Each structure stands twice: as structure tokens, then as C-alpha cells.
Chain A
Amino acid sequence: MAENVGIGASVLRKEDFRFLTGRGTYVDDINRPGQLYAHILRSPHPHANLKKIDTARAKQAPGVIAVYTRHDVNEDKLGGMPCGWGVKFKDDTPMKEPAHPMLATEKVRHVGDPIALVIAETRAQAKDAAEQIAVDYEILKPVPTINDAIKPGAAALHTEAPDNVCYDWHIGDKSAVDSAFGRAHKVAKLDLVNNRLVPNAMEPRAAIGDFDSANGDYTLYTTSQNPHVIRLLMGAFVLHIPESKLRVVAPDVGGGFGSKIFHYAEEALVTWAAGKVKRPVKWTADRSESFISDAHGRDHVTHAEMAMDKDGKFLALRVQTLANMGAYLSSFAPAVPTYLYATLLAGCYATPAVYAEVKAVFTNTVPVDAYRGAGRPEASFLLERLVDVAAKEMGMDRVDIRRRNFIPNSAFPYQTPVAVQYDSGDYFGTLDMALKASNWSSFRDRQQEAKKRGKLRGIGISTYIEACGVAPSNVAGALGARAGLYEVANVRVNPTGSVTIFTGTHSHGQGHETTFAQLVADRLGIAMDQIEISHGDTGKIPFGMGTYGSRSLAVGGSAIVKAMDKIVNKGKKIAAHLLEAAEADIEFKDGKFSVAGTDKSKTFGEIALTAYVPHNYPLDVLEPGLDETAFYDPKNFTFPAGCHICEVEIDPDTGNTTIITFTAVDDVGRVINPMIVEGQVQGGVAQGIGQALLESCIYDGNGQLLSGSMSDYTMPRADNLPNVDVSTHVTLCTHNPLGVKGCGEVGSIGSPPAIIGAIVDALSEYGVKHIEMPATPQRVWQTIQAAKGKKAA
């Protein structure tokens, strides 16, 4: 290769040209001939019986083509929104899985619950007509929070779950944990909340349904992270359209962070409606609508205890978590606080026994599902905060107690007490690098200097682990997953030697078009401009499960590698024929097939041309063409881990926290493009800072969303963010061909406990043990005042 574009090179992102010059094609940029516009009438009430819905006046309004309600959904015998993961109660009975209608039927269960679909010639006409729909609500008592939901006698959202409990699940060996607590030298205890977040991707969701009445084909353009999953769920469960008659296109998508994994009612509504009115139907959410219709994230209330021996070794961990599901089960919601959370509670530590109980409840709020990190940020926040408390309890240094309990490098593969097996890692290595990069040892000097300026300076550390690349399909299936979790790649070598890769993963900011092209350049030895990555269209891509859980490179990249292996093997056969040598003697390197030990060779392009113009070709034993597809099913999760260190200064007069430095050392396995990895970590850390310091989704006691706009929901801005010092420490994943682990979520998983740990450290002179997120100036100031009051009293 002339240029260094292979694995390990910081190649500039190919996709940035169109993004930075405003030439991306997002769903709302697409307009179909004769397109109509949809507006969805949503409930302003969190909990009410839906009595009469009168659409007569709306149907007469100017420009209105159709108004659909529950009546039409029933008449067309459509299904409800499906849930893709079933979790069981402790006694092995299945979770409560109430119906999730596209348009509310007998009840509305959250502010924003869709009631009617109005289709008109213009967006304004659809909105105006929605005003004319008269809905008769019988108001019911709302259940806005987890604590409201579990109160005895609380109003029930669903008749299937009279106590509002979706499931009460557990994992681990309870008796081993109980017995370890019985012989503990000390026990550290912590109650904490993982604050509810609103994802807020830059591009709001949008969907266009299109119907070709000539042959009965449907096309859905949608803002999705996984178009094949949408096709599968919507076709099979909601609209009953065969996949052969349904194409789902997810073009450029402006950020997802998990919130665009799920199948949403609006996608099914516009597709269905397009078939009914025989014209394309477009829906685009505005920001206010996103707040009340995109799945939210996190929202846990947890009590945890760590038992320790006299040396500060962890003996056992006990965790009780209440998790909010919202009003309905979103596509993958049940898996998030169970298999993506409790299975990570061992962390980087060799704790021999862990027992976790998770009770998931329904509330009159927007459904909650995976959001960047999905379960692992909740696990790392809990565990890393508890380890800090444990250090304090033992009178030990926070770093020492971690070192003392780390899983030793010699123990891999390491089986945790909560089902998963870590393949590789070096927690000591990432820790040492981060301590050095952050100048940890001289922190107390900086703290003294800050004190002279009247500032409280603190340092926090988190040594997190997470799991990506979920997971062997059979294992996930045994745990309740209702879909496969493999990935698909089609490597199409074109006759003149350029290559088009069709991947079932989806890029919505991650830079796949560059990273994946680097894999190809590296393996096939061709130039970047000869490689095209195609994704996001079920009409082009054989199949795929999409992008979530930092799986694209570990699973999707591995599928590409597998398909390229097939290409190279076939190329060798063709080369052997052309070079009149034995296939076993053909080597492929730097884009050339050569006979070992000779100067006889054929370029990749020559082999491609021969495959498509097979005049001199072994047609009797080999098919023409050079086009291979591979399905790759992962053998295990991957386990990225790392150490994040945050240094803050607090102004005690205002409670304002400033992040002075942030150091991230992450082991994401082999790094394909260091620049993209750095960007992913920085973005993740920005979201972690948002969660730790700024963001909080609040419902009032009446079930109304108070933080429902950018004026009230504080997203991190440039001035909230430090310069994040990112580096990597690589141990290779042992079970995928690239040795990669995934980098998309480490930032949001590792950072919150380091930030909160730093604030608690800064406030240590007030005896503060923990502070909840977001640690806003108000909360920090009040914590200081309360501590001062206690001291005075």
C-alpha cells in the first residue's frame, strides 16, 4: 500500500465531506412525489381512560385526507408494538407483558401517548385538524415515579400487572452472598439513584411511509440504527407485511445513542397509512415531541452493600435495584436492567459472590430503554461509588483497594459469579497509565493551592468494565432474547477491482464508512477510494441486526473479515489457475496473489476481472464472480475496560463544579482508527458529564414532564467540557478475528463515577459520603449547607 490507511492509521473520515458541507441525506431531506404529512395527537394526561374520540370535525378540516384512531387499527387487525426480550420472575414465570398499542385503545398511560393520526396535505393543516379532535378523558390517578408505582394500593397502569411490577428477577448465589456477609469484617452500604435521561440525538426522529400500488410494495424511510430489525418487527408483528414486500431505509441518521434502536409506533403508522391513502406519508418529530415520544434512559433506584474482610478484600456484593420501564415495554427494555446491568456487577474485581435483585416497574412516563451504555453505566456508577465508600469504610486509599481486588492478569479467562466470562484485560495497566497521565500522586499539592484560592478541589477515579458485542445468539436466546445477534457482511468485488461492502450494521455518527474501509484496505491491499461501504437499506443489504451496544466493529467488522477471507480463498483458486501453480502455493499480500518463492503474481484487480470475464477460468470447478457473504455469530461478549480520572474544582459559595482535567485510559482492544476512537471516547465522556452534572428528566407529582424542553433539560455545552485526555491500553479480544472490543460507550460508562467521586472528594471536609446526579450547583451548594448545619448542631 502506498498510503498508510490500514489498521492503526488515523485516516480522516470519508463521510465527513458530506456531513460538514451540509450534503448528508437525512430522512427529513427525502420527499416523495405526492407526499402527505402526518401529525400525531398525543395525550396531555399521564393516566386516563379514553372514552369517546370524536374525529368528525377534524376529518372535515381543510386539507385533511384521513384521521385514524384505535377504531381503524382494530378494523385492520394490526398488532401492537412488540418487545424483543423476555425476562423472568425469580420463580421462572414470564414477565408481565401488557399490550402496547400503536394508538391508545382503552387508556392513555403517559403524556405523549399517541391517540390519533391525522394526515393532511401540509404539516400545518394536519396540526390544525388535530386541534379539532375531541377526546373525552376520564382522569385516573397518575403513577409518575418508581416509588409511586410500588406503593401499596397504587393505581395500576395495566390489568396484567396489578402491582405495577413487570418482573422481579435475580441473578447470583444468594446463600453464598449471605454467608459471606455473615463473616464480613466490615460492610460498606450505599443508596443511590441513577438519574433518568432524555437521549436528545441532534436529529429528531422522522419516518416516511411509501406504497407502490402497482405491485404492493411498501418502503419505510426511517431514522433507525437497525433497519432490518425494524423490518422484522414491523412486518411480522405489527403490520403483517411479508419482508419481501417491505423495504426499510435508514439513510444518514444524526445520532442515535440507543434511542433509535427501537421500533416506534410512528414508523408503523406512516407505513400503514401510506398503504391506505395510496400516497407517501411523512412524519417528523419536533424537539418537544421527541421529549415525550423517544425512549428515555436509566432511571434506577438502588441499595447496595459490599462485604469485606480485614484486608479490604471484597467477599460479596448484594444489590437491590428498582428499574423504571415507563408506561409500556419498549423493544429491548427488559434486558437493560438485567442482562446488561446485573451481569456487569462484578466489575474489574475478583469478588467471589454477587447477588442482585432487580424489580422492574411500570409508571405513567415515556418508556425507558437502552441509552448509550444501556445498563452498564448504571452498573459502573453503582459499583465504583460503592468501592469508594468501601475504601472510606476501611480507611484505605481508593487506588489501593481497587488494586487489591482487581482480577489478576493471570486469571483470564475469568468466570464472574454473575454469568459472564471475561476473555482478556489488564486492569493494573490501565490504572497505572491513568494515574501517571493525571499526575495523581501530586494531587494534594494542587488541592492545597486551590484552597488558597478559596476553591474545593477533588479527584475521582473509576476503574470500570463493560460488555459489548452482544452476544452468542444461543446464549442470548437462553437469556430471553427473541432475535439472533449475529452480523452479516456482503463483500462485492466489482469487475475492475473496486469493492463494495454491504454491512448489516448502521453508522449514525460512528465513522463506519472509514473504519470498515480501513479493514478492507488492510486486508485486500486496495486504495481507500476503491472501497465503498453501504449500509442502512434492506433493499441492498442481505440482512443485519444494526448498531447498538458498541457491536459494529466487533461483530459487523468480524463478519466483513470472514467474508473477505472467502474472497481471498476464491481469489487464490483463480490465481492458481492463471499462474499454473498449486492453490496451496499461492500467497496473498499487499494486494497481490503470488506463487510462493517466485516473482509470478497477479494483482487483486486482475483476479477480479478474471472472475467476471471468465474466458481463462476453471469453470468446471469454480463459479464465476467474486462476491461473498458471511454471517458472524460472536463467541462471547467483548469486555472493554479502563480507568477514568477526573479532577474538579468547586466554588463553595455557588456550588458550581468545574472539571479541570479528565483522563481516560481505555482498553477497547485493537484500535483500527485512533482518531475515531478518541472522538468516540470524547463524545461518550461528554454524555457522562451531562449525566453527572447537568441532565435530569423530571416528572411532577401529576405525571407532567417538567424538563420537557431544552430550556429545562440541560444538555452539556462546550463550556461544560474539559479537554479530555484520551489514550488506549490494548489487550486483544481473544475470540474475534480483529481482537477488537468496542469503543462507542466506554466514555458514558466510565466517566460518571469518576466525576461524582471527584466532587465527593472535594467535599470530604464536610463529611459527604455521596452526592446524587446530576450534581448541579444547587445540589452541591445545598449539600455543603446541610453538612455545615450538621457540624454546627
Chain B
Amino acid sequence: MDLTGEVRLAADRETVWRALNDPEILKQAIPGCESVEKLSDTEFTAKVVLKIGPMKATFSGKGTLGDLNPPNGYTISGEGQGGVAGFGKGSAKVELSDDAGQTVLRYTAAAQVGGKIAQLGARLIDATAKKLADQFFVKFAEVVNGKPAG
């Protein structure tokens, strides 16, 4: 299932674009994120604690930024191993546009899980992914401009 949504940010497009490429900001925005380490301009590693249904696991994985189109958007994708819990992967296509001095961020995200986490929580994954995506962009907006704009 693809998840879509949008948030308005009280900052110009350049500022938002820089924030989207800042590991520190990503770390603050990614739900359950314990660490982010930048490997290059488009690659980073991260450690994320996720809870899906009855399962809670620490995922260690790699994130990449692709389809780079500064300052209009990119695709952020990640794939993490959760040990015996299985694995999770997801990606979000992010598009930025100007609107009355603010920036509108639209996203289309997809998530997939495997192994035990899928076995026990597959029926919850869509709801969980939606919640995580919402949390990410709300938090991202807060970090960028103190609080979400409208």
C-alpha cells in the first residue's frame, strides 16, 4: 500500500531542502531513531527502534537518498535488519513546492516487512507505516520551524 500525505512548512524551499539532507535533523524526525551516521552526501546508516503490533525490535540499516532534484525533492529509502525479528524496508518520494511563502511537502511512501515481524504484524503494517510516516513529517516540520504551520 502506498501512503500519501502532505505537510506545510513555514520555511522557504531551500531551507526545507537543506533540512531534508541534514542527518541531525533526520535523526530527530525519524521515529525511534537512535543514531544516524552520514557515510556520504547520499548515504547514511541508522539505528531505529520500531514497534509493530506485539513486536519491538532494533533495526540497523542503511539509508540512501536518490532521485535527487535540489531543491525540489528526492526519494529517501532505507532497509534495516532487525535480527530474529526480520527486516523492514521502506521508501518515500518527497516533493517540495512553494505556496504563499511557505513550502508544501508532499510524500508518497511504501513499506514492507519480512520474517517474524511480518508473520505477527503483517495485518498491522499499513496502519503502523502510516503512523510512522505521519510522525516523521510532523516531527520534521517541528524541527524545521519550531511547530507545524497549519
Contacts and interface: CB of A to CB of B under 8 A. Distances in A.
A287 to B, nearest CB: 10
Contacts of B86: 44
Given A111-B114, A702-B114, A704-B113, A44 B122 contact: no
A585 interface: no
B83 A111 contact: no
Interface in B52-105: 83-84, 86-87
A327 to B, nearest CB: 15
A508 interface: no
A interface bracket (residues with beta carbon within 8 Å of B): 20 to 34
A712 B84 contact: no
B87 A45 contact: yes
Given A711-B123, A712-B123, A704 B84 contact: no
Place the interface of chain B in its size category.
Answer: 10 to 19
Interface in A525-565: none
Contacts of A706: 118-119, 122-123
A702 B120 CA distance: 15
Would you list the 6 A-B pairs with minimal beta carbon distance, nearest first?
Answer: A44-B115, A708-B119, A131-B83, A44-B86, A704-B118, A706-B122
B105 to A, nearest CB: 28
B78 to A, nearest CB: 15
B89 to A, nearest CB: 10
A702 B119 CA distance: 12
A291 interface: yes
A702 B112 contact: yes
A111 B123 contact: no
Interface in A23-58: 41-46
Contacts of A292: 119
A705 B84 contact: no
Contacts of B117: 44
B106 interface: no
A697 B122 CA distance: 13
Contacts of A42: 84, 115
Contacts of B112: 702
B87 A712 contact: no
A708 B114 contact: no
Interface string A696-720: 0000101011101101100000000
Contacts of B122: 700, 704, 706, 708, 712
A607 interface: no
A248 interface: no
Taking chain B's interface residues, is the majority helix, strand, or loop, or is none over half, making it mixed?
A: helix
21 contacts: A42-B84, A44-B115, A44-B116, A45-B114, A111-B114, A111-B115, A127-B84, A130-B83, A288-B119, A700-B122, A702-B114, A704-B113, A704-B114, A704-B118, A704-B119, A704-B122, A708-B118, A708-B119, A708-B120, A709-B119, A709-B120
Contacts of B84: 41-42, 127, 130-131
A291 B118 CA distance: 12
Contacts of B114: 44-46, 111, 702, 704
Given A288-B116, A704-B119, 6 more contacts: A44-B118, A706-B119, A708-B119, A708-B120, A711-B120, A712-B122
B58 to A, nearest CB: 9
Contacts, number: 56
A705 B87 contact: no
B106 to A, nearest CB: 26
A361 to B, nearest CB: 22
Nearest to B114: A44
Given A111-B115, A704-B113, A704-B114, A44 B120 contact: no
Which of A42, A43, A127, A705 has the largest count of B CB atoms less than 10 A from its CB?
A: A705
Nearest to A132: B83
Greatest chain A CB density within 10 A among B116, B117, B118, B119 is at B119
Contacts of A127: 84
B14 to A, nearest CB: 37
A288 B87 contact: no
Nearest to B53: A711
Nearest to A709: B120
A538 B122 CA distance: 43
Contacts of A111: 114-115, 118-119
Interface in B93-150: 112-120, 122-123
A44 B84 CA distance: 8
A291 B115 CA distance: 12
Interface string A125-161: 0010011100000000000000000000000000000
A476 B85 CA distance: 44
Contacts of B115: 42-45, 111, 704
Interface in B16-56: none
A24 B62 CA distance: 50
A582 B20 CA distance: 104
Contacts of A708: 118-120, 122
Nearest to B115: A44
A549 to B, nearest CB: 30
A706 B87 CA distance: 15
Contacts of B87: 44-45
Nearest to B60: A134
A706 B117 CA distance: 10
Nearest to A706: B122
A291 B122 CA distance: 14
A704 B117 CA distance: 10
B129 to A, nearest CB: 14
A257 to B, nearest CB: 21
Interface in A276-334: 288, 291-292
B100 to A, nearest CB: 42
B118 A705 contact: yes
B120 to A, nearest CB: 5
A291 B84 CA distance: 15
Nearest to B87: A44
Contacts of A41: 84
A220 B115 CA distance: 29
A42 B113 CA distance: 15
Contacts of B123: 706, 711-712
